[in-house]
Amino acid sequence: MEFDCSPLDRPEVLNLLFHPRPEPRAAGGAAHSSVHDLLIPVDDSVHVGGRFHLFDPSFVNMLFFHGNGEIVADYDDMGPVYRRIGVNFCPVDYRGYGRSTGMPTCSALIRDAHSVMDFLVGYLAERGYSGPMVVMGRSLGSAPAIELAASGDRHPVSGLIIESGFAHTVPLLRLLGLNVERLGLSGTDFVGNHVKIRRVLRPTLIIHAELDRIIPFSDALDLHEASAAGHKWLVRIPDAGHNDILYRGITQYMAAVKSFTERLREAP
């Protein structure tokens, strides 16, 4: 089953789902030799920004899609954290975010993910980075992450991590305050995370805050149940919400990611 996001590409929806902002001029991550600031071509005259924290060719490589109110510069402090657990951390922006050009849409969110992955695979191969590839998505970023992991052999994905991800599109739109019935958007899912994850056979880790009021923990349960992966884990972060999950649960959060990526490195 294929999903079409284009009915969501209308101002009433886009203004709720996307909150782009520019990268501060002082956020010069590329000043460090391990940090690579890049503009990734995704369409004619459209580029999205990426900041690749590359430490060791043998590390696990992680392509990271952030939440709808974030940019890659917000994750500069996470580069050293991922280094300590043996991960090359590669967050990317969406159109209109950070240093990116263009305007964000739901269709572009999904479509651009494939171009970004193709670019990253080539970029890493040219530099001899040969570790397993993980795709990770937080919140809105769960959509492009699941899209890539569900694409079969099109991309070399070894594992999937979903943090604070949504299972169902229409309930999320309602929770954000959109009158989906008035707009004629109540009849289908459009994104299909809970269906696409049934095609993901690679190891899957789902992390979710117990007290999330934006995307409820029940979405994590639905994604975990729907997942077809032979090896899958669900980690509940207690006493945390959608936007303080790292602050309140970073020890448990990073321990789960570390255990997951170590399994991938040890896999034959």
What pLDDT is attached to residue 28?
A: 55
Asked if the model's pLDDT at residue 213 lies above 70, the reply is: yes
- Written as one letter, the residue type at 219 is D
Residues β-bridged to residue 89? 53, 62
Q: Quickly state the pLDDT bin for 2 (edges 50, 70, 90).
A: confident
Helix %, strand %, coil % of the chain (to 5): 40, 20, 40
For 182-231, the three-class secondary structure string (H helix, E strand, C coil) is: CCCCCCCCCCCHHHHHHHCCCCEEEEEECCCCCCCHHHHHHHHHHCCCCC
CA distances for 132 relative to 88, 128, 158, 198, 267, angstroms: 10, 12, 6, 21, 10
Q: What is the pLDDT of residues 119-163, one digit of tens each?
A: 999 999 999 999 999 999 999 999 999 999 999 889 999 999 999
What pLDDT is attached to residue 30?
A: 56
Question: Would you kindly state where each structural domain of the chain is located, as residue ranges?
Answer: 6-20+55-90+130-266
Q: What is the pLDDT of residues 68-121, one digit of tens each?
A: 999 999 999 999 999 999 999 999 999 999 999 999 999 999 999 999 999 999
Residue found by looking up tokens 């321990």 in the block: 255
Q: Residues 6-20+55-90+130-266: name the CATH superfamily.
A: Alpha/Beta hydrolase fold, catalytic domain (3.40.50.1820)
Percentage of the chain beyond pLDDT 90 is: 91
Rounded Cα distance, 247 and 208, in Å: 13
Q: Which two tokens stand for residue 110?
A: 């999904």
Q: Is the separation of the CB atoms in 29 and 93 below 8 Å?
A: no
The sign of the dihedral angle between the CA atoms of 22, 27, 31, 36 is negative
